[in-house]
Amino acid sequence: AQTVTQSQPEMSVQEAETVTLSCTYDTSESNYYLFWYKQPPSRQMILVIRQEAYKQQNATENRFSVNFQKAAKSFSLKISDSQLGDTAMYFCAFMKHATSGGYQKVTFGTGTKLQVIP
């Protein structure tokens, strides 16, 4: 079974600064996906960024980037130029790769509550 660990229950960052959220995972799989989801106060789950394990290059989406260390099983999220709208719970998630393109269950971490301070 896979496990996802987020060791930072809460974090804060000044507006316009950079913050890094940590995530580690444990798996025996070699091919999988990793995700960061954002859940703002509205409770809507929003995909922030995703990384395929077979890709060495770290994924980037505008101000969001990841540091994927496969050997260390680490998947941190860096938010640059933090904005007030980034205030939310952030969940790291793991999903095995499905060979036939079908679904696999997602395992979520416990979340990190990020507060962006004006």
Which positions touch another protein (CB under 8 A)?
33, 37, 42-47, 50, 91, 101-103, 105-106, 108-111, 113
**Closer residue to another protein (CB): 63 or 106:** 106
Give me 16's structure tokens: 């316009």
CB of 44 to another protein, least distance (A): 5
Interior/surface letters 80-92, b for 16+ CB within 10 angstroms, e for the rest: eebeeebbbbbbb
DSSP annotation of 40: -
**Closer residue to another protein (CB): 64 or 80:** 64
Q: How far is CA 42 from the centre of its chain?
A: 19
What amino acid occupies position 30? S
**Alpha helices in the chain, H assignment, sequence order:** none
CB of 71 to another protein, least distance (A): 25
CB of 99 to another protein, least distance (A): 12
**Closer residue to another protein (CB): 41 or 118:** 41
Q: How far is CA 32 from the centre of its chain?
A: 14
**Closer residue to another protein (CB): 5 or 14:** 5
